[in-house]
């Protein structure tokens, strides 16, 4: 072999090497060479980070750069939505695969029991599949704020279908539920105050097997957070009466999606809505309002005195602790109202009010400046006496001087 033909061989080998950029970059899959936008989409996904690549879902030959050879064998384009849940379940229902990530494996089983799952099984392509909520190429961890099922985003994700009037009309589902939820106290805390402790859609309905809770179960759903309120409600007469009448328990007053938090002043009119104006029950509601507002006033007054005393300063550590205790008792009054028992509400408001008035009494005594003012008056009396004596002495000197000169 001549040196010339050797040189040609080396150069052409180098040229082949350069024409395989993805191999040169060290990537094992060539899919991105033809599908760059999909490669970019996949970059942030938790799947890629854990070694789940294109072929894990799509199959085919990842090393081939030719469509004919790349898209062969077990290649799946996954354009059929109806097949996709089963596809995800291949891994996500596999205990051996999910165990290292401490992920549950029952999502697919639960999904199949839901309305979404039933519709998909029945061949309805419009029903929600995994990727409608979780995304597909860019699946993220649920704790990632960019994940569509993160608590900050899930309302919008559900709204994608459930606020779609055309789509919801086909299933006879109320399309206003999302707007109603958005007006609720829960949405205000979750979405406006960005407090992720507040409930989103899935907190009450579930996620993979979304089911609306029925009459008789609502108190259990609400009670999973509002435990004391539920207990008081079950202790009171309303629970049984509503079950007998077929009324939804909590939702009868608070509504289901547009959940309302009532002002203390509204209790009477709320009672009157069912029991009628001027009824005994409406009067009881007015009593609750009075009890709570008067207790609140006591605590506000005590708080003001504490601030005043701090500026003197007086030591009010103990009073601050007791005020907090008083506030806790007042907070307990709100669940107790749901038992509609005057005794129960009075028990806690009385304790709260007595703490407030105790603090006030002690601080009024300690802030009382009457003794200081009286002492000041006595002080001025002696002071002016001293001035008078000095003045007289001065006058005497002046008089003596006048005598001298005359």
Partner 1 sequence: MSQHPKRLLDWLSRRLNLTEVFSLLTSYGFFYTEIDSRKPLAEALEEALEKPVPSYSNWPRVLGLIVLVLMTVEILTGGLLALYYLPTPQSAHASVGVILQDVGFGALIHQAHFWGAQMLIAVLLLRLGRFFVQRVYRRPRELVWVFGILLLLVSLQADLTGRMLPWTTTSYWSSVRAIEVLATIPVISNIMLFFTGTSGAFLSEVTLIRGYILHIVVLPLLAIVLIYFHFSTVRRVGLSGEASTAGMPGRRAFRAHLASLAIIFVLLLGVLITLAVLAPEPFEIKADPFSTPPGIDPPWYLLAPFGLLEMTADFLPRWIVGLVMLLATTALVALPFLSRSQTDPGASRRPLLWALAVAMVAVWVVLTLYGARMA
Q: How far is the CB of 365 from partner 1 (least distance, A)?
A: 16
| DSSP label of 236 | S
Piece of the chain touching partner 1 by CB under 8 A; list 102-110, 172-180, 336-344, 385-393: 385-393
Q: Which residue lies nearer to partner 1 by CB, 361 or 401? A: 401
Piece of the chain touching partner 1 by CB under 8 A; list 101-109, 225-233, 291-299, 389-397: 389-397
What six digits make up the tokens of 116?
Answer: 């979404």
Helices 317-337 and 280-310: crossing angle in degrees, nearest 10, is: 170
* d(C-alpha 364, C-alpha 258), whole Å: 45
Q: How far is the CB of 32 from partner 1 (least distance, A)?
A: 48
Piece of the chain touching partner 1 by CB under 8 A; list 29-37, 171-179, 256-264, 384-392: 384-392
Q: State in Å, rounded, how far the first CA of the chain is from the last one.
A: 150
Q: Which of residues 299-328 bind partner 1 (CB under 8 A)?
A: 310-315
Q: What is the DSSP string of 202-235?
A: HHHH-SSS--PPPTTTHHHHHHTT-HHHHHHHHH
* d(C-alpha 310, C-alpha 315), whole Å: 7
Backbone angles phi, psi at 338, to 5 degrees: -70, -10
Q: How far is the CB of 376 from partner 1 (least distance, A)?
A: 5
Q: Which of residues 341-380 bind partner 1 (CB under 8 A)?
A: 369, 372-373, 376, 379-380
Question: Rule CB under 8 A: is residue 381 a binding residue for partner 1?
Answer: no
- Binding footprint of partner 1, residue count (CB under 8 A): 23
- Tracing tokens 């990842």 back to the chain, one arrives at 62
Question: Rule CB under 8 A: is residue 90 a binding residue for partner 1?
Answer: no
Q: Which residue lies nearer to partner 1 by CB, 165 or 311? A: 311
Site map 264..303 versus partner 1, x via CB under 8 A: ----------------------------------------
Q: How far is the CB of 362 from partner 1 (least distance, A)?
A: 16
Q: How far is the CB of 298 from partner 1 (least distance, A)?
A: 24
Helices 238-245 and 227-235: crossing angle in degrees, nearest 10, is: 80
Q: How far is the CB of 317 from partner 1 (least distance, A)?
A: 12
Q: Which of residues 107-126 bind partner 1 (CB under 8 A)?
A: none
Q: Which residue lies nearer to partner 1 by CB, 283 or 388? A: 388
* d(C-alpha 32, C-alpha 54), whole Å: 9
- Tracing tokens 């509400």 back to the chain, one arrives at 345
Say what the alpha-carbon torsion angle 274, 279, 280, 283 is, to the nearest 10 degrees.
Answer: 90
Q: Which residue lies nearer to partner 1 by CB, 4 or 370? A: 370
Q: How far is the CB of 145 from partner 1 (least distance, A)?
A: 26
Q: What is the DSSP string of 94-129?
A: -HHHHGGGT--S-HHHHHHHSHHHHHHHTT-TTS--
Q: Which residue lies nearer to partner 1 by CB, 271 or 363? A: 363
Q: How far is the CB of 368 from partner 1 (least distance, A)?
A: 13
What is the dihedral sign for C-alpha 219, 225, 231, 232?
negative
Q: How far is the CB of 324 from partner 1 (least distance, A)?
A: 17
Among residues 314, 288, 319, 317, which one has the least CA distance to residue 303? 319
What six digits make up the tokens of 109?
Answer: 């089983």
**Could you list the residues that contact partner 1 (CB under 8 A)?**
310-315, 369, 372-373, 376, 379-380, 383, 386-387, 390-391, 393-394, 397-398, 400-401
């Amino acid at each position: 072999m001549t040196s010339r033909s050797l040189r040609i061989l080396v150069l052409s080998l180098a040229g082949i090497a350069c024409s395989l950029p993805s191999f040169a970059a060290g990537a094992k899959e060539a899919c991105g060479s033809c599908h760059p936008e999909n490669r970019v989409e996949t970059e942030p996904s938790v799947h890629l980070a854990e070694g789940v690549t294109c072929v894990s879902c799509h199959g085919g030959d990842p090393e081939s750069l030719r469509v004919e050879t790349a898209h062969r064998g077990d290649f799946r384009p996954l354009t059929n939505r109806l097949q996709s849940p089963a596809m995800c379940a291949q891994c996500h229902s596999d205990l051996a695969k999910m165990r290292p990530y401490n992920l549950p494996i029952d999502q697919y089983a639960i999904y199949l029991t839901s309305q979404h799952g039933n519709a998909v099984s029945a061949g309805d392509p419009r029903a929600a599949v995994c990727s409608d909520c979780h995304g597909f190429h860019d699946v993220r961890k649920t704790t990632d704020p960019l994940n569509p099922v993160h608590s900050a985003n899930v309302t919008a994700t559900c709204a994608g279908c459930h606020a779609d009037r055309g789509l919801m009309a086909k299933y006879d589902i109320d399309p206003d539920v999302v707007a109603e939820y958005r007006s609720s106290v829960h949405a205000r805390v979750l979405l406006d105050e960005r407090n992720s402790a507040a409930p989103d859609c899935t907190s009450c309905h579930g996620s993979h097997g979304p089911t609306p809770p029925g009459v008789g179960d609502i108190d259990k759903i609400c009670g999973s957070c509002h435990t004391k309120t539920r207990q008081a409600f079950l202790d009171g007469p309303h629970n049984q009466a509503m079950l007998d009448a077929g009324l939804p328990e909590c939702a009868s007053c608070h509504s289901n999606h547009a959940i309302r938090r009532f002002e203390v002043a509204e209790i009477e009119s709320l009672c009157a809505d069912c029991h009628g104006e001027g009824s005994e029950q409406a009067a009881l509601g007015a009593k609750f309002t009075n009890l709570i507002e008067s207790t609140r006033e006591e605590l506000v007054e005590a708080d003001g005195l504490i601030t005043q005393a701090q500026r003197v300063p007086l030591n009010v550590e103990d009073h601050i602790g007791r005020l907090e205790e008083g506030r806790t008792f007042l907070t307990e009054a709100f669940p107790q109202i749901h038992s509609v028992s005057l005794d129960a509400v009075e028990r806690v408001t009385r304790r709260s009010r007595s703490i407030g008035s105790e603090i006030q009494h002690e601080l009024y005594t300690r802030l009382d400046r009457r003794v200081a003012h009286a002492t000041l008056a006595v002080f001025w009396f002696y002071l002016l006496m001293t001035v008078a004596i000095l003045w007289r002495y001065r006058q005497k000197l002046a008089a003596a001087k006048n005598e001298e000169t005359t």
